[in-house]
């Protein structure tokens, strides 16, 4: 069924990555989420942002597995956390404070461009 839907719509595995212990073992770690998403032929995973903020190197592991990565969580509303994830390669951050985070990311992009011109 998932493979059938995948042809028309990207399907992601939603996981808490162990922030809250779940009965479904696939939801208790990034590694388990990666294994399942690859096994099921999914486009990627959507995870709580906390593990990614704490260990941005996880993004590379997820990307090397051929998966897209979206994150969610209250910490995504902090512009610095969204910036960190963007630099790490997260494909999308799900936020409540859309305009504030968007403006913060735009400002960060502008500052990066200026720094690149100066250096």
- Facing residues of 77 across strands? none
Banded pLDDT at 44 (limits 50, 70, 90): very high
CATH 3.20.20.190 at 2-118, yes or no: yes
Span of 59-68, 73-82, 109-118 with lowest mean pLDDT = 109-118
Reported as half-sphere exposure (CB side, CA atoms, 13 A), residue 8 has a value of 4
How far is Cα 58 from Cα 104, in angstroms, rounded to an integer?
23
Comparing 42 with 23, which gets the higher pLDDT? Answer: 42
Comparing 106 with 117, which gets the higher pLDDT? Answer: 106
State what percent of residues in the chain have pLDDT above 90.
66
Whole-number pLDDT of residue 29: 87
The predicted model gives 18-29 an average pLDDT of: 75
Q: Is the pLDDT of residue 39 over 90?
A: yes
Whole-number pLDDT of residue 28: 76
* 9 CB burial (10 A radius; 0-12, 13-18, 19+): exposed
Annotated domain spans of the chain: 2-118
Encode the chain in three state secondary structure: CHHHHHCCCCCEEEECCCCCCCCCHHHCCHHHHHHHHHHHCCCEEEEECHHHHHCCHHHHHHHHCCCEEEEECHHHHCHHHHHHHHHHCCCEECCCCHHHHHHHHHHHHHHHHHHHHHC
């Amino acid at each position: 069924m998932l493979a059938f839907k995948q042809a028309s719509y990207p399907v992601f595995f939603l996981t808490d990555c162990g922030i809250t212990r779940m009965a479904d073992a696939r939801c208790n770690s990034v590694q388990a989420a990666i294994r399942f998403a690859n096994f099921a032929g999914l486009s990627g995973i959507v995870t709580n942002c906390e593990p990614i903020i704490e260990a941005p190197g996880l993004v590379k592991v997820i990307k090397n597995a051929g998966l897209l990565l979206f994150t969610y969580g209250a910490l995504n509303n902090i512009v610095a956390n969204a910036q960190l994830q963007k630099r790490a390669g997260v494909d999308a951050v799900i936020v409540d404070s859309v305009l504030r985070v968007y403006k913060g990311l735009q400002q960060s992009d502008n500052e990066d461009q200026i720094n690149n011109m100066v250096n």
